[in-house]
Amino acid sequence: MRQSVSRTLVLGRRPWPARPFALWVARAAVVVSLTFCAGTRITGQPTAAAPDVPVAASADASVDLKAMERRAQETLQKVVPSIVAVSGGCGVVVSQDGYVLTAAHVGVRPGRRVTLTFADGRVVRGRTLGSDQGVDAGLMKIDGEGPFPFVPMATSADVPVGTWCLALGYPVSFERGKAPVLRIGRVLGNRPTMLVTDCTIMGGDSGGPLFDLDGNLIGISSRCDDRLTTNIHVPVDCFRAEWDRLLRGEDFNSLRRVVAYLGVDRTEDMDEPRIGRVFPGSGAEKAGVQVGDVVLSFGGTALARYRDLPPLIEQRRPGDEVELEVRRGDQIMKLRAVLGQRED
């Protein structure tokens, strides 16, 4: 957790117990982060993601902050009803029937019973589904069919660097009657497995939503470090790409590459494609490959050295059946092996 945060402007901090929800949302706490990346000024040119936010060329940035505050409040009213607090962090509802995106480390593991609290104080029960530990993406499902308030998911790959964005969550911890805290910043980096922003997040924000200024969900807050401009979010495209596995309740790591596996190893002599070891239960053993065999060809491709073999195996897929031509003593034999799989 960060010990210090960026210089901020806090607006509307008065608590609102027993207020009508519409008024409660309108007065939600807004924290506008003023730490933009080096060389980026709030008085710069507007991006395509926020074309209707007036950005002045004058030295008076207060006009721009007021415009940004108005835009943020408009978006806030649309998205706050879909945000939930859960033990260890936050989440956001993305479907009418109650599917919730969060961080994998918030859900911990599939099959847990969880209590989720909406921003208006409503408490519901649910369960954790799948977790992609590689990118820190988690899925939950609220009990029942709803309808529940939800937000639309954008295509995060289409979000350009420099896009204004809004991060919401409950820094440090959730307190009943406390509004989600909003931080405004820009996207500093967009990679297939992470979005980097200068929206200052900290412990308690994990699983919280990251929106564009139109209220479209572009990411889920994951982690940060002591540098104010290193705030990591899981792109929503990661959830979409592994949706079926998350829905089935799998606990997996999408960053681990699965490659084809024959199940042999070399001798000390790398100049000859001779087998020095055959692993038990492997496709090679089942095909009848033996220690001492010299592999002459793999899938029709001739081999001159053992180091030619691994790249040929990796070009295949687990489950492929491949013909091997081997020399065993004075005999030339053709064997057929079904490739297994291993994590690279």
- What pLDDT, in 10s, does the model give residues 262-293? 999 998 876 789 999 999 999 999 999 999 99
Residue 172: C-alpha distances to residues 37, 85, 185, 219, 225 (Å): 24, 12, 20, 20, 15
- Residues 175, 276, single domain; the answer is no
- What pLDDT, in 10s, does the model give residues 196-238? 999 989 888 999 999 999 999 999 999 987 776 789 999 999 9
- Residues 332, 315, single domain; the answer is yes
- What pLDDT, in 10s, does the model give residues 144-194? 988 999 999 999 999 999 999 999 998 876 677 677 889 999 999 999 999
Domain at 99, CATH number: 2.40.10.120
Domain boundary among 197, 222, 255: 255
Domain at 281, CATH number: 2.30.42.10
b/e map of 185-195 (b: 16 or more CB within 10 Å)?
bbbbebeebbb
- Residues 109, 68, single domain; the answer is yes
- What pLDDT, in 10s, does the model give residues 60-83? 455 577 887 888 889 999 999 999
Domain that holds residue 147: 1-255
- What pLDDT, in 10s, does the model give residues 20-46? 333 333 333 333 343 333 223 332 333
Long-range contacts of 302-308 (CB under 8 A, 24+ apart): 303/273, 304/273, 305/270, 305/271, 305/272, 305/273, 306/266, 306/267, 306/269, 306/270, 306/272, 306/273, 306/274, 307/270, 308/273
